[in-house]
Amino acid sequence: MARPRIIKIFDTTLRDGEQTPGVALTPNDKLQIARQLDRLNVDIIEAGFPSVSAGEKEAVRLIARDKLNAEVCALARTRREDLDAALDCDVDSIHTFIATSDIHIKHKLRLTREEVLKRAVEAVEYVKEHGLTVEFSAEDATRTDLDFLRQVYCAVVEAGADRINIPDTVGIMTPKRMGWLVGEIAKVVKVPISVHCHNDLGMATANSLAGVEAGASQVHVTVNGLGERAGNAPLEEVVVALHSLYKEFKTRVNLKLIYETSRLVSQLTGVQVQPNKAIVGENAFVHESGVHAHGVIRMPLTYEPISPELVGRKTVIVAGKHAGIHGIKEKILELGFNPTDEQMKEILRQVKEFGDHGKQVTTTDLISIASIVCGQVPSEEKTVELKELAVVTGSNVIPTASVKLTIDGKDYVSSETGVGPVDAAIKAIRKLTDNLVNVRLKEYRLEALTGGSDAMAEVVVKVEDPEGRIVSARAANSDIVRASVEAMINGINRLLFVKKREKQANRG
């Protein structure tokens, strides 16, 4: 069998990806992402569009001078000032574009086809005169008259273009049509062909793959599918599909770094990845239903198309109302418990009851259930205890709280101010417990259990540690501040308990 063809990955996270509404990266953020893309081993990094701002130009220059292995590319319209701005950045290549569809030519550019053709050719010649690699895009190619599109691509190749790119700018192609178009262009153009598919109708990955099947040797992608409107073809989907669904294609991407790259991009852009997103979504390798969990435990590929380790992830089995005894038992054993069959049935019953009330059963909940059923009550594990609490509040004073805590048998005191007495008390607790576990209060809910001014207040908190463990805890007291403080301390104790359990499970 012939050796697999290497498909080049042109990553445009830092250019088209940054055009995601609401995203603006600083030059240092962009440099950090570029370095990660380089570790990921993409072939080309489109670092930005230098003519848009001074900061953008600085970022592209910073990346171009960072001695990365990848080719660093800058985007430019066919205008001289754009091309000069890109040339100024010391990049390896310039990606220049002009729209070729009649709708763009008439309404946006207000030019004639002849003028568009002339500008495209002149831009390519200009970049070649400066000795750089040039990639040419006919913007809105997929809505362009085919004869004109052929004419434009042939003319730019004649002028020296090293690669041509076919953008499906508004994401209107189907795989069949994309394959056909790439085939038509490949008949007349003898330089490498690239595809750039937008995801407006959710077809970007399928259309990109169809382009490759028809002869394209390069694909434009973005991490997490970021990009204008519904985004671009996601790097993780295109790359993993090329590796796992085809024998005849490969990329140079280091698949193991895909998840870590996705997390970094999400963190720096502030764009959360949807939980059910392919490959990188939180649920992509999570199994809840009993049938699935059972299958995955016996043979992971029963319900996983690829091994999660391939992309730097792990299989996760969660507890919920669809859970079965095998999945829950696996988790319970992992957490260091050793229940009898009877205890296991009771744990499963309680998990399903939780689920029937619409609740997601977290690892912490599972630890709580298992601890009680197996006779190891986590509430006995109190590393932190409240000894004293005093608050000062009123209309003309800054709310202040003082707390005395016993931590591992030793007393500690702290005072803090806040926007209110609860805020002040929670800050004082955090000050004392930060060394132990640095918690963030993720959610705070106050519920009155009974009516009247002496109502019992029930406070429910969700706290999170820096590794992302989340636990819920509650406390009830007729004093709201006291209830809040106790709930917070319960949350801290639970987190410490969960961490300890996890450590034991890892050791065992």
The site for Zn ion (CB under 5 A) is made up of: 16
Q: For the CB of residue 127, give the shortest distance to ligand KIV in the complex, in Å.
A: 15
**Is the CB of 222 or the CB of 262 nearer to ligand KIV?**
222
Q: Which of 7, 8, 14, 16 binds ligand KIV (CB under 6 A)?
A: 16
Report the site for ligand KIV in 215-234 (rule: CB under 6 A).
Answer: none
For residue 376, give the 3-state DSSP assignment.
coil
The H-or-E segment that residue 36 falls in is: helix 27-40
**Is the CB of 98 or the CB of 332 nearer to ligand KIV?**
98
Given a contact cutoff of 8 angstroms between Cβ atoms, the answer to whether 227 and 198 are in contact is yes
What mask of x and - would describe binding to ligand KIV in positions 241 to 280, judged by CB under 6 A? ----------------------------------------
d(CA 60, CA 49): 8
Strand 384-392 versus strand 400-407 pairing type: antiparallel
Instruction: Give me the sign of the Cα torsion angle 71, 225, 103, 49.
Output: negative
Q: How many residues make up the chain in this entry?
A: 508
Contacts of 53 (CB under 8 A, 6+ apart): none
Would you call 342 exposed, middle or buried from its count of C-beta atoms within 10 A (0-12, 13-18, 19+)?
exposed
Report the site for ligand KIV in 66-105 (rule: CB under 6 A).
Answer: 97
Structure tokens at 68: 């990365």
Given a contact cutoff of 8 angstroms between Cβ atoms, the answer to whether 266 and 273 are in contact is yes
Q: For the CB of residue 240, give the shortest distance to ligand KIV in the complex, in Å.
A: 23
**Is the CB of 97 or the CB of 285 nearer to ligand KIV?**
97
d(CA 265, CA 11): 13
d(CA 310, CA 260): 12
Residue 327 near which of ligand KIV, Zn ion, none (CB within 5-8 Å, type-dependent): none
Q: For the CB of residue 220, give the shortest distance to ligand KIV in the complex, in Å.
A: 7
What mask of x and - would describe binding to ligand KIV in positions 98 to 137, judged by CB under 6 A? ---------------------------------------x
**Is the CB of 89 or the CB of 361 nearer to ligand KIV?**
89
What mask of x and - would describe binding to ligand KIV in positions 438 to 467, judged by CB under 6 A? ------------------------------
Residue 56 near which of Zn ion, ligand KIV, none (CB within 5-8 Å, type-dependent): none
Q: For the CB of residue 169, give the shortest distance to ligand KIV in the complex, in Å.
A: 4
Residue 139 in contact with ligand KIV, rule: CB under 6 A: yes
Q: String of b and e for 356-393 (b: at least 16 CB within 10 Å)? A: eeeeebbbbbbbbbbbebbeeebeeeebbebeebebee
Nearest C-alpha neighbor of 173 from the set 214, 218, 135: 214
Shortest-Cβ-distance residue relative to Zn ion: 16
What mask of x and - would describe binding to ligand KIV in positions 147 to 186, judged by CB under 6 A? --------------------x-x-----------------
Q: For the CB of residue 26, give the shortest distance to Zn ion in the complex, in Å.
A: 22
Residue 139 near which of ligand KIV, Zn ion, none (CB within 5-8 Å, type-dependent): ligand KIV
Q: For the CB of residue 167, give the shortest distance to ligand KIV in the complex, in Å.
A: 3
Contacts of 231 (CB under 8 A, 6+ apart): 17, 20, 198, 199, 204, 222, 224, 225
d(CA 200, CA 265): 21
Q: For the CB of residue 503, give the shortest distance to ligand KIV in the complex, in Å.
A: 48
Q: For the CB of residue 147, give the shortest distance to ligand KIV in the complex, in Å.
A: 20
Residue 135 near which of ligand KIV, Zn ion, none (CB within 5-8 Å, type-dependent): none
**Is the CB of 143 or the CB of 243 nearer to ligand KIV?**
143
Chain centre distance of CA 73 = 24
**Is the CB of 181 or the CB of 475 nearer to ligand KIV?**
181
Q: For the CB of residue 494, give the shortest distance to Zn ion in the complex, in Å.
A: 47
d(CA 240, CA 277): 13
Site size toward ligand KIV, by CB under 6 A: 8
Q: For the CB of residue 416, give the shortest distance to Zn ion in the complex, in Å.
A: 50
Phi and psi, residue 406, nearest 5°: -100, 120
Q: For the CB of residue 288, give the shortest distance to Zn ion in the complex, in Å.
A: 37
**Is the CB of 196 or the CB of 427 nearer to Zn ion?**
196
175-188 and 204-213 are packed helices; what angle lies between their axes, rounded to 10 degrees?
A: 40
For residue 8, give the 3-state DSSP assignment.
strand
Residue 97 near which of ligand KIV, Zn ion, none (CB within 5-8 Å, type-dependent): ligand KIV
Contacts of 52 (CB under 8 A, 6+ apart): none
Residue 196 in contact with ligand KIV, rule: CB under 6 A: yes
**Is the CB of 43 or the CB of 139 nearer to ligand KIV?**
139
Residue 329 in contact with ligand KIV, rule: CB under 6 A: no
Q: For the CB of residue 364, give the shortest distance to ligand KIV in the complex, in Å.
A: 45
d(CA 110, CA 231): 27
Phi and psi, residue 281, nearest 5°: -70, 150
Residue 430 near which of ligand KIV, Zn ion, none (CB within 5-8 Å, type-dependent): none
d(CA 384, CA 352): 31
Per CB under 6 A, residues contacting ligand KIV are 16, 97, 137, 139, 167, 169, 196, 198
